[in-house]
Homo-oligomer: A and B are copies of this chain.
Amino acid sequence: MSKQQKRYMLPEEEIPRYWYNIQADMANKPLPPLNPATKQPLKAEDLYPIFAKELSRQELDQTTTWVEIPEEVREMYKYYRSTPLVRAYALEKAIGTPAHIYFKNESVSPIGSHKLNSALAQAYYCKQEGITNITTETGAGQWGAALAYAAKVFGLEAAVYQVKISYEQKPYRRSIMQTFGAQVTASPSMSTRAGKDILTAHPNYQGSLGTAISEAVELAMQTPNCRYTLGSVLNHVALHQTIIGLEAEKQMELAGEYPDTIIACFGGGSNFGGLAFPFMRHKILEGKQIRFIAAEPASCPKLTRGKFEYDFGDEVGYTPLLPMYTLGHNFEPAHIHAGGLRYHGAGTIVSQLYKDGLMEAVDIQQLESFEAGCLFAQMEGIIPAPESCHAIAATIHEAKKCAETGEEKVILFNLSGHGLIDMASYDKYLAGDLTNYTLTDEEIQRNLDAVEAVL
């Protein structure tokens, strides 16, 4: 038998003590979020009614390069970190590539994905500031599960709006959140004005992250001592997730290699930024030649086919206006099984980096993503989340190119989570019941027209 895998771990004392804030190193800083009423740049104070103060501050901080990880959060990180960096020999062999493929395995976190890295930080800061209740939305349910557990750790009450289609496709993610003690509501619901408005206008609407965000933000704004938390898109979320890339840097050093290509799936940008930003620092500061590839679903191609505009983060328009690549805040994504990638916009940092040509993006079709996921499962023994399958498909693309050129490139991708709660999706794929979704230019333009009306 040839070598199947090799795992690299960090000793506890090597777990990073600081998160990395890429904003401080960017030549072109992200444009500021705007108050939708006045169109004026927002200050941190303007965000306090929605987010914890420290998170609001982190969101807009464009000068502090290294942000200290609070000791209580780092203590919790030590429970499941470092996550393994794995050389995927078996996958390389199956593809027949000379490329060296590594993956960072975030699926080993107790809740099964990278989402816990930021959930713990957000719950911690809320607790510190005397907040008692937190609310959020969740698509695939990975974020909701992470937040439900993080809330429990810090003694907070959590209320989660789960996108209805995911609530139905993945009922067990709801069960997990409930087991952790969270209150879970399918979105759109009749419990908020935002939900009611949508359900009366579109009675069978299956929900979107944008709508669920509206509901959660509304609840936070109307409830004393309650704040909203978000699992992706925002700068402070990507900040917390940089623990992934910071560890991976040290682990690649243990492996004696350096990545030529870094790949992650792309929903709002949290697992992508988490892995990519610490490496991109060396591209920005030292001109290091590294390619960064965001793998998004073909059915929600905000980077490859969206437009860079100020747009709302949610369906209803409760959030600030964010400068981002967007398909329009009222974009209704197809019901693909990678629920975590069904979001209309890209985070503002990634949007700026993409605009500046520091990274690339590729679109992956649903069937190709599952095909890649099944191959990975058989080779590496881990059922990947449907979201992560997009990163695997993009990795296989790049590895096959190396097979043609004979280049021994080093590819590193993020296994953002496992797919054990997504077996119904795998069942459908294996039974031949899944399809691809391709948007026409017209469909995309229709939504983009609506975006241009925002500013």
User: Which B residue sits closest to A373, measured CB to CB?
Assistant: B179
Chain B positions within 8 Å of A175 at CB level = 423-424, 426-427, 430
Which A residues, 122 to 180, have Cβ-Cβ distances below 8 Å to chain B? 127, 149, 152-154, 171-172, 175-176, 178-180
Distance, CA A79 to CA B152, complexed state (A) = 31
Q: Contact between A374 and B423 (Cβ–Cβ < 8 Å)?
A: no
Q: Contact between B172 and A423 (Cβ–Cβ < 8 Å)?
A: yes
Whether, in the assembled complex, A112 has its beta carbon less than 8 Å from a beta carbon of chain B, the answer is yes
Whether, in the assembled complex, A255 has its beta carbon less than 8 Å from a beta carbon of chain B, the answer is no
Chain B positions within 8 Å of A110 at CB level = 380-382
Q: Contact between A423 and B176 (Cβ–Cβ < 8 Å)?
A: yes
Which A residues, 1 to 33, have Cβ-Cβ distances below 8 Å to chain B? 1, 3-7, 9, 11-12
Tell which of A9, A72, A75, A383 has the most Cβ of chain B within 10 Å: A383
Whether, in the assembled complex, A76 has its beta carbon less than 8 Å from a beta carbon of chain B, the answer is yes
Whether, in the assembled complex, A421 has its beta carbon less than 8 Å from a beta carbon of chain B, the answer is yes
Whether, in the assembled complex, A181 has its beta carbon less than 8 Å from a beta carbon of chain B, the answer is yes
Distance, CA A171 to CA B172, complexed state (A) = 13
Whether, in the assembled complex, A420 has its beta carbon less than 8 Å from a beta carbon of chain B, the answer is yes
Which A residues, 367 to 391, have Cβ-Cβ distances below 8 Å to chain B? 374, 377-383
Q: A381 contacts which of B7, B111, B382, B424 (Cβ < 8 Å)?
A: B111
- Size of the chain A interface, CB-CB below 8 angstroms: 50
Whether, in the assembled complex, A446 has its beta carbon less than 8 Å from a beta carbon of chain B, the answer is no
Whether, in the assembled complex, A108 has its beta carbon less than 8 Å from a beta carbon of chain B, the answer is yes
User: Which B residue sits closest to A86, measured CB to CB?
Assistant: B79
Whether, in the assembled complex, A80 has its beta carbon less than 8 Å from a beta carbon of chain B, the answer is yes
Q: A424 contacts which of B172, B178, B378, B427 (Cβ < 8 Å)?
A: B172
Distance, CA A421 to CA B170, complexed state (A) = 12
Q: Contact between A7 and B80 (Cβ–Cβ < 8 Å)?
A: yes
Whether, in the assembled complex, A78 has its beta carbon less than 8 Å from a beta carbon of chain B, the answer is yes
Chain B positions within 8 Å of A181 at CB level = 378
Q: Contact between B179 and A430 (Cβ–Cβ < 8 Å)?
A: yes
Distance, CA A281 to CA B79, complexed state (A) = 30
Chain B min CB distance to A444 (Å): 33
Q: A108 contacts which of B108, B116, B377, B379 (Cβ < 8 Å)?
A: B108
Q: A4 contacts which of B75, B116, B421 (Cβ < 8 Å)?
A: B75
Q: Contact between B75 and A154 (Cβ–Cβ < 8 Å)?
A: no
Q: Contact between A1 and B378 (Cβ–Cβ < 8 Å)?
A: no
Q: Contact between A420 and B112 (Cβ–Cβ < 8 Å)?
A: yes
Distance, CA A183 to CA B76, complexed state (A) = 40
Distance, CA A79 to CA B8, complexed state (A) = 9
Q: Contact between B5 and A79 (Cβ–Cβ < 8 Å)?
A: yes
Chain B positions within 8 Å of A86 at CB level = 79
Distance, CA A11 to CA B7, complexed state (A) = 11
Known: A175-B426, A423-B421. A149 touches B381 (CB 8 A): yes
Distance, CA A175 to CA B7, complexed state (A) = 27
Chain B positions within 8 Å of A153 at CB level = 1, 4, 90, 381
Known: A80-B7, A380-B110. A1 touches B154 (CB 8 A): yes
Interface residues of A (CB under 8 A from B): 1, 3-7, 9, 11-12, 72, 75-76, 78-80, 86, 90, 108, 110-112, 116, 127, 149, 152-154, 171-172, 175-176, 178-181, 374, 377-383, 420-421, 423-424, 426-427, 430
Q: Supply 15 further A-B pairs (C-beta < 8 A) apart from A1-B127, A6-B78, A172-B424.
A: A5-B78, A7-B78, A11-B11, A79-B381, A110-B380, A110-B381, A149-B381, A152-B378, A153-B381, A175-B426, A175-B427, A176-B383, A179-B378, A179-B423, A180-B377
Which 7 A-B residue pairings sit nearest by Cβ, starting from the closest? A172-B423, A110-B381, A175-B423, A5-B79, A420-B420, A149-B381, A110-B382
A-B contact pairs, 10 of them (CB 8 A): A1-B72, A1-B153, A6-B79, A110-B382, A152-B379, A175-B424, A175-B426, A179-B374, A420-B420, A420-B421
